[in-house]
Structure 1
Amino acid sequence: MQRTIDSLERIIALGEKLLTTFDIEGLLTQIVSNVKDLLRADGATLYLVDPIEKLMISQVILSDRVEEIVLKVGNDSIAGYTALNRRSLNIPDAYGDLSQYHPALKFNREIDEKFHTHTQSILTHPLELRGELIGVFQVVNKKGGAFDDDDLRILRNFAVIAGIAILNARLVERVVEEQSNANDIIEHIAEKVIIHDLEGRILSLNHRATEDLPAGMSARDAKGKKVMEIFPMLAGLEGEVKKVIEHNLDKTFSGGKMPYVILTAKNARQAIEKVILIIKEPVNNQPPGPPPATPEDPA
């Protein structure tokens, strides 16, 4: 029991680090290394499940080497059985008779032959979060004996932190990718795009918008300055932007003499954080009057 308590304290400490690591490859390596250390094992594997292809792809640490193993989700392998049935296994002798678990279950000796190792004991546990199967932990050869119930409890507790960390890293990776794609689109569209904060300070400009900057000013120089100071020809839109912010709208637009779209970027609390101005035609040097706008309430 004391070992379980001590391990929980260590898992909490490790969790703080894992939950702030958003690089997927680095995170998986940390997770496998931590499992190996926590359970005092010779080796550990984290198989990530591909639900479409019904495959499991591993991050492995064996003799300080990282290798990849691909398995099918099914009853003919130890990790595959754990994934398919979502059940932990504690096998004291990998080369023994495994038919008590399933008639088709067997240990793949090719892995031992490839890495010049001998697998004796194996402990597995499914990595689940909110009913979603993320992967399978497989830990081999506990130093000084066989795996016990304490080891399984430790692995189960660590799996919760690991699952949250992996999903967080995947989410951040997806957001970064979507943001990158959006930035590419903004940069290359023909319209002028100006992104500013709630105080009207410029955060970024696309290539078309930089063409209308004052002589000698770069996009970097413009950042942090007020939009209307740098683009006085847009003064007619200042009132429209203010309305959008005050009413927490998603967007407003006009097809008048100076067609424009005003979009907003909101946080998780649905509060506006940024305003995106899209000017659909080149702006002349005369400040336009406030054009008729068509607001759109948040969905």
Structure 2
Amino acid sequence: GGVAFDSEDEQRFRDFAASIGIILETCQSLYMAARNQRGAAALLKATQSLVQSLDLEATLQSVMDQARKLMKADRSTLFMLSKETGELWTQVLNKEGTEVIPIRIPANRGIAGYVASTGKPLNIPDAYQDPRFDPNADKQTGYKTRNILCMPVFNSGGELIGVTQLINKEKGSFTSSDEEFMKAFNIQAGMALENAKLFESVLVEKQYQKDILQSLSDAVISTDMQGRIVTINDAALALLGCPVKQIDSKNRELWEYKLTNRYVWDVVPIEHLQSRLKDSLTTGTKHYLPEQSLIVGLFNSHSKFNWENSHSSSSHPPNFSPHSQHEDSFYILAIPKPDHPEVYVPWNETPWDSNASTDLSQEQVKKIERSTNLTVNPLTNPEGTVRGGLVVLEDISQEKRLKTTMYRYLTPGVAEQVLALGEDTLMQGRKEEVTILFSDIRGYTTLTENLGAAEVVSLLNKYFETMVEAVFNHEGTLDKFIGDALMAVFGAPLPLKENHAWLAVKSALDMRWRLAAFNESRIMNNQPLIHIGIGISSGEVVSGNIGSHKRMDYTVIGDGVNLSARLEGVTKEYGCDIILSEYTYNLCRDRICVRELDKIRVKGKSQPVSIYELIGTADTGLNDTMKRFLSFYEAGRHTYINRDFQKALTYFEQAHQLKPTDQAVLTHLNRAKNYLDNPPPDFWDGVHTMLRK
């Protein structure tokens, strides 16, 4: 034992020390790796819980609870920055842990305020030696703050949104390694907090939209891109017969459950709803259909026993009581079958058991009839892409009952205006600048001579149904039907915000498009096509209620009305479907593409008027052939007016080669040839006088 260490011992110890160093480094690496793994697990646990809750308060508590455990600190706090108030705020439990206490401090004071103001971390080993530390909280609570690690939290855009603060590490002070790890932790915390704040904003906005939806007096239903119901407000439930003021929460939940995710046309049986909504979702078109009929039934199931037995042949119809408060009472929406309207289907659902029938008779339900104005609009995102549909139903049942009474001495159109403006407003005659549209079916007698009376009525009703939509969609007023013709006015009885001539032109183009669609179905049924002529003119008219005390019509009278009716007849002479007078053309010439057909003097009028064939809107694409045709026709008209009939013939013949069946070209060819043989008198002004109406 008294032998001294020699050089050999020293060498052995050196070798051993090197091994110990490797072992210590390995242990340190394993410790750091284990710590990193615990930290990653803590972060994963925190973020997983955040994804599940997306609640801001839960996020605050979860984030800092994981941070405290990870850093082995005694306390942890996450302060959120409120830019609106310039404060840092958080929520902590009281001493008993029974109540959450909000804490707010100025964003530029104290340790947390310094970090929030500068965006720089603070690692303070001795809090009482730092002048920024406020010891008053320790004095009040008896708590001793030793060391603090305070670090900023940024969102994904690099904007400071909060500050994390850890107090009193269990052993020693917070290290630079702790700083690095908390920096990584705060990145995840920032993302989680940002998601929670976004989610909170979405919830607030969703509730705001829901409150708006529920406050509307009109029935409003939103749908997805397939037409399935997403949201439905109380007014819509009431429109369908649901007694929303009497039912309990279970009844309401039943209705919402049964209606949500259903095709809206399956539970809101309005004739044109499906086609109009699909068109709106596909093309982004808006539709307005006035006075649509809605018929549904309401069944009151007083108990499970009665509901089951109500389907058996021996059962008696249940007594309906919309104000029943029976605890087992449920209200069921029933939809009439299209082919058997006296039979109602609960929720319009097919029974699970195909052999069982859940159909209800009309004696078992309370029939509900509504008259509604139907509006179908697309829902679009900021880029203009359609992302859903909006169905709005205005219940005008009471208004319609009032109008039914007024129909005894007023036409439906006038009744609407009287309800809106008051009777005195319309009884007085007024002079107004308007545009008048006349539309008529060509060859109506030939078309209907082989049809029975019922078939003629059916044909006219279907035709007028779509044509009247074209008038209403462009803010026109349907003045009257005259046999197979209709007359519409744009600009009366109410003035329009937009150019009345342009709206009339758009209505005519809409009629052209609708007629093509109408004829497609007739082609499929091997039925003859329908052709129409439309005359449009603008000018001053007198509007008002005209007639006798027993029967009065709201209408307009004046030269503009007569001229538009004459122009509708002129369409036959020139083989065109839509002709405008120069008065309408001049009001919207920059918006339309036309061909100047002629200058005529209609029967019964001495003042000549230039007439134009409406080709389309100004952005209508014309092919090269059409452009050449129009150029030849225009040149022919110019030389014709200047009495150079030989040259006019050349131009019209060139136009004829491009469009051999064009009636206007053929008419001018005949006139030019006639004037070559029989020159017109010197006072001839190029105006053609029409001999027929």
What's 1:102 paired with? none
**For residue 40 of structure 2, what is the aligned residue in structure 1?**
8
Candidates 101, 107, 111, aligned match of 1:73 = 107
Equivalent residues of 1:259, 1:281 under 8 A apart: no
| Equivalences for residues 285-296 of structure 1 within 5 A | 289=465, 291-292=469-470
Q: Answer whether contact 1:44 1:61 (CA < 8 A) is retained.
A: no
Structure having greater relative contact order (Cα 8 Å, sep ≥ 6): 1
Matched with 2:76 is 44
SS in 2 for 1:69: strand
- Deviating more after overlay: 28-37 vs 202-211: 202-211
CA contact under 8 A between 2:78 and 2:162: conserved in structure 1?
yes
**In structure 2, do the counterparts of structure 1 residues 215 and 4 end up closer, same or farther at CA, with 3 Å as the change threshold?**
closer
CA shift for structure 1 position 255: 7.7
Give 1:166 shift: 1.2
SS at match of 2:200: helix
**TM-superposed deviation, 1:261:** 4.0
1:265-297 CA-to-partner distances (Å, cap 9, x unmatched) read 6699x672x42211345378xx99564468xxx
Q: Distance in 2 between matches of 1:151 and 1:95?
A: 21
Matched, 1:133 2:160: yes
Moved more, 45-54 or 4-13: 4-13
* AA of the residue aligned to 1:73: A
Look up the SS of the partner of 2:145 in the other structure: coil
Matches within 5 A, 1:86-97: 86-96=119-129
In structure 2, distance between residues paired with 1:64 and 1:95: 27
* Alpha-carbon distance in 1 for matches of 2:140, 2:87: 20
Cα displacement (A) at 1:67: 4.6
2:379/2:389 contact within 8 Å kept: yes
Partner residue, 2:223: 196
Given that residues 115 and 121 in structure 2 are in contact (C-alpha distance below 8 angstroms), is that contact kept between their aligned partners in structure 1?
yes
* AA partner of residue 25 (structure 1): E
1:32 maps to 64
What letter matches 1:107 in structure 2?
A: F
Q: 1:37 to 1:192 in 2, by over 3 A?
A: same
TM-score by length of 1: 0.80
Deviations 1:117-172 (A, max 9, x none): 10011001001112211111110100011100111112111111111111111111
Q: Does 1:114 align with 2:114?
A: no
Check conservation: 1:8, 1:157, Cα contact below 8 A.
Answer: no
Aligned in 2, Cα 1:4/1:153: closer, same or farther, shift over 3 Å? farther
Give the distance between the partners of 2:386 and 2:175, measured in 1 at CA.
50
2:198 alignment partner, one of 161, 171, 181: 171
Instruction: Give the partner amino acid of 1:56.
Output: L
Per the alignment, residue 21 of structure 1 pairs with 53
Give the distance between the partners of 1:208 and 1:67, measured in 2 at CA. 41
Q: Partner residue of 1:151?
A: 178
User: Relative to 1, partners in 2 of residues 1:214 and 1:255: Cα closer, same or farther, differing over 3 Å?
Assistant: closer
Distance 1:61 1:107 in 2: 22
Query: Are the aligned partners of 1:202 and 1:227 in contact in 2 as well (CA < 8 Å)?
Result: yes
Taking only the aligned residue pairs, the percentage that are identical comes to: 25
Runs of at least 5 residues in structure 1 that lack an aligned partner in the other structure: 99-104, 295-299
Letter in 2 for 1:137: T
1:277 aligns with 2:425: no
* Other-structure match for 2:274: 238
Secondary structure of 1:119's match? coil
SS at match of 1:52: coil
- Asked if structure 1 preserves the Cα contact closer than 8 Å seen for 2:379 and 2:386, the reply is no
What do residues 3-51 of structure 1 show as CA deviations (whole Å, max 9, x unaligned)? Answer: 2354234323432222332121121111121111110001111111112
Quick one: distance in 2 between partners of 1:150 and 1:132?
A: 24
Please identify the structure whose Cα radius of gyration is greater. Answer: 2
How far apart are the structure 2 equivalents of 1:33 and 1:165? 14
**Is the contact made by 1:32 and 1:61 (CA closer than 8 Å) also made in structure 2?**
no
Q: Which amino acid aligns with 2:154?
A: E
Q: Answer whether contact 1:43 1:62 (CA < 8 A) is retained.
A: no
TM-score (norm 2): 0.37
How big is the shift at 1:89?
A: 0.7
SS across alignment from 1:141: strand
For 2:379 and 2:88, the matched residues in 1 are separated by 41
Question: Given the superposition, is the C-alpha separation of residues 10 and 215 from structure 1 closer, same or farther in structure 2, using an over 3 Å criterion?
Answer: closer
Deviation larger for 213-222 or 197-206: 213-222
Whole-angstrom distance in 2 between the partners of 1:121 and 1:210 = 62
Task: Report the RMSD for the aligned CA atoms in angstroms.
Answer: 3.3
CA separation in 2, counterparts of 1:135 and 1:208? 44
Amino acid in structure 1 at the alignment position of 2:176: D
Answer yes or no: is the 8 Å Cα contact 2:87–2:105 preserved in 1. Answer: yes
What is the alpha-carbon distance in structure 1 between the residues aligned to residue 148 and residue 41 of structure 2? 25
Change (3 A) 1:62 1:231: closer
Q: Over residues 211-245 of structure 1, what are the superposed CA-to-partner deviations in whole Å (9 max), with x where a residue is unaligned?
A: 33268997344444432233222x32322221222
Task: Tell whether the 8 Å contact from 2:280 to 2:376 is kept in structure 1 after alignment.
Answer: no
Bigger share in helix: 2
Deviating more after overlay: 116-125 vs 44-53: 44-53
Alpha-carbon spacing, 1:67–1:207, altered in 2? closer, same or farther (3 Å): closer
1: distance between equivalents of 2:221 and 2:266? 13
CA–CA separation in structure 2 for the residues paired with 1:223 and 1:267: 26
* Correspondent of 1:228 among 237, 262, 265: 265
Partner Cα distance (1:178, 1:289) in 2: 41
Q: What amino acid is aligned across from residue 16 of structure 1 in structure 2?
A: Q
Q: Name the CA distance, whole Å, in 2 between partners of 1:199 and 1:183.
A: 22
Task: Please say if residues 115 and 151 of structure 2, whose CA atoms lie closer than 8 Å, have aligned partners that are also in contact.
Answer: yes
Instruction: Tell me the SS of whatever aligns to 2:120.
Output: coil
Q: Where does structure 2 lack aligned partners over 5 or more consecutive residues? A: 1-31, 244-250, 292-372, 401-461, 475-693
